[in-house]
Structures are given as structure tokens and as C-alpha cells.
């Protein structure tokens, strides 16, 4: 067996560069940037930061399931069935984690987010949950 030593100190400049890039971009909301700078946030989340709509009113209240864009399908059909709770959960999890605000507006339904937030919150990174719940305190239960 070969012994090797992890050089975690060498990772710090890369992480610092990711943070500098995020700050300089000016496209990351302040609350999201602050959340991403919390200890323990994984590099994958820093390297691909998430977005959050500004107001739940931006989302349609309810309605017919939207067509699922190709980039989100991976095992999902082009159109979700109204009784496909597991499919909706998976789509929402993906879009919460790496979707844009525009994708959230196009794919999310407000009533689904509100009714299913406890389940969704268990299945996405806690940093994402924290920002959503800070912006929309009514989601906390």
C-alpha cells in the first residue's frame, strides 16, 4: 500500500481565486455570496453558484406542468405528469441547485414550492435552503 499526503493547503489559492471571481463578477446577489463564503461550503457550489428569484410572486401560482428543457431531463420526460410527484421533486431539486432565475420562473409553480418546501429543503444543499428561507420566511416550518 502506498502512503500519500493530501496537500489541502494547495487548494486554498484555488478557492480564493473562485471567491475573487465571484466578487468581481457582480452578478451574484449579496446574500448568496455571503452564504457561499460560510465555512464548509463545498468548492463545487462555489464554482457553480446558484440563483434565487427575488419574490415568490414572480412564479406562476399554479398551472399546467411546463415542458422540461433537455438540459434538465436526464431521466425525466419532456412533460411531467400532474401526478408525478417524484418527477417534480427531482426537477425542482435540480433547478434549485443550478438553475437561473429565468429557469425558476419558467419551471416552478409557487403552490408546489410552498406545499413541498420541507421535502425539497431536505434534498438540496443547506446553503441554498438558507438563502431561500431568508428571502421567503414563510417557507420555514
**How does pLDDT run across 61-112, given as a tens digit for each residue?**
988 878 899 999 998 888 887 766 888 899 999 999 999 999 999 999 999 9
State how far the Cα of 141 lies from the Cα of 137, in Å rounded to an integer.
Answer: 9
Cβ(136)–Cβ(56) under 8 Å?
A: yes
DSSP 114-141: HHHHHHHHHSS-HHHHHHHHHH-GGG--
Q: What is the pTM of this model?
A: 0.84
State how far the Cα of 113 lies from the Cα of 94, in Å rounded to an integer.
Answer: 13
State how far the Cα of 2 lies from the Cα of 36, in Å rounded to an integer.
Answer: 35
Report pLDDT digits (tens) over 15-43. Answer: 788 778 878 887 789 999 999 988 888 88
Amino acid at each position: 500500500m502506498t502512503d500519500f499526503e493530501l496537500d489541502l493547503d494547495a487548494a486554498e489559492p484555488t478557492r480564493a481565486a473562485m471567491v475573487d471571481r465571484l466578487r468581481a463578477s457582480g452578478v451574484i446577489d449579496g446574500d448568496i455570496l455571503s452564504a457561499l463564503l460560510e465555512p464548509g461550503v463545498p468548492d463545487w457550489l462555489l464554482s457553480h453558484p446558484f440563483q434565487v428569484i427575488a419574490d415568490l410572486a414572480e412564479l406562476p401560482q399554479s398551472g399546467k406542468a411546463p415542458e422540461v428543457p433537455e438540459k434538465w431531463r436526464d431521466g425525466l420526460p419532456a412533460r411531467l405528469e400532474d401526478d408525478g410527484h417524484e418527477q417534480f421533486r427531482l426537477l425542482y431539486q435540480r433547478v434549485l441547485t443550478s438553475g437561473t432565475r429565468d429557469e425558476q420562473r419558467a419551471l416552478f409553480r409557487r403552490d408546489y414550492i410552498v406545499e413541498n418546501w420541507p421535502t425539497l429543503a431536505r434534498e438540496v444543499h443547506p446553503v441554498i435552503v438558507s438563502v431561500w428561507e431568508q428571502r421567503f420566511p414563510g417557507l420555514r416550518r
